[in-house]
Amino acid sequence: MKKDNLDLIIIFIWPIIAAISSLFTRPPAIMSIVLFLIIPSIYLSFKGKIYIKKVLYFSVLISILTMIFIDYIAHFTGDWLIPSTIFSFKILGLVPIENIFWAFFSVYFILIFYEYFINKHKDKKVINPKMIYLFSAILFIFIIFLFFLFNNPSFLNIPYFYFWWGLILMALPVSLIFFIKTRTIAKSFVVFAYFFYMHFIYEITALKVGWWSFPGKYIGSVSLFGVSFPIEELFFWFILFALAVLTYYEFFNDDMR
């Protein structure tokens, strides 16, 4: 058996192991990040050491500020809720520290998976010069967010926020890049299939254990295995999140090949 095939089997089985252990032990939310994201990320990093720097820098640059303003507004509007945190404070009073780790490792895991199993580029350039445009856009949005937060916070009470940010930041870029570069669809299929599967298991486990909930208003809901979640969660996290991460990564930090 090829080494890559064995590694793929291990990574495929791991979410099931993480889910079963979580349902029996019911650990705090921070452990969900360790089990579902950090452990497989470390495993693939060990296997694909040559990709670590490029993936690491990109993940840091796009995940932290983005997660702060999205998570703040989502908690502010009630789109989702992390009921408990092991830390003594929250960023800006609403954003649990766990969510920053979740955002970083969610992006990192997708990209290290992509590089190790699919892309296999040995590009020595860690950061593409085009990254300045992406990071500048994120920083600009974050500054606008802070402006409204400290001057007119009611402006952040956006109805159906999950739908709108998912449409603008994920659905539109993914649709555009797939239209321009149809070859990206084939390259992304394995990544899409794995992370749909992984996110599905993670979601069901999280709702059963109580790591997060969805008290807000949505365009629809899905009920499976005794739990319910927004249709936005299905469409944007299960289906589009990994594809959106690859879209930004390929366009701003890779070669679009």
Q: Which residue has the higher pLDDT, 113 or 121?
A: 113
| Domain limits for position 36 | 3-253
CA atoms within 13 A on the CB side of 257: 7
Task: Give the confidence band of 156 by pLDDT, cuts at 50, 70, 90.
Answer: very high
- CA 203 and chain centroid, separation: 13
DSSP assigned state of 91 = B
- Residue 24 pLDDT greater than 90, yes or no: yes
Which two tokens mark 209? 């254990």
> For the chain, how many structural domains are there in total?
1
pLDDT at 148: 95
The pTM is what? 0.93
The burial of 6, by beta-carbon neighbours within 10 Å (0-12 exposed, 13-18 middle, 19 or more buried), is given as: exposed
Q: How far apart are CA 73 and CA 181, in angstroms?
A: 33
Task: Give the confidence band of 177 by pLDDT, cuts at 50, 70, 90.
Answer: confident
- CB of 55 within 8 A of CB of 108? yes
Q: Which residue has the higher pLDDT, 126 or 36?
A: 36
- CA 39 and chain centroid, separation: 16
Radius of gyration of the chain (CA): 18
End-to-end CA gap in the chain? 28
- Residue 74 pLDDT greater than 90, yes or no: yes
Average pLDDT of every residue of the chain: 90
Kindly state the average pLDDT of the residues 63-86. 92
Q: How far apart are CA 150 and CA 152, in angstroms?
A: 6
For residue 175, CA distances in Å to 47, 167, 171, 178, 243 come to 32, 10, 6, 5, 10
Q: How far apart are CA 104 and CA 151, in angstroms?
A: 29
- Residue 1 pLDDT greater than 60, yes or no: no
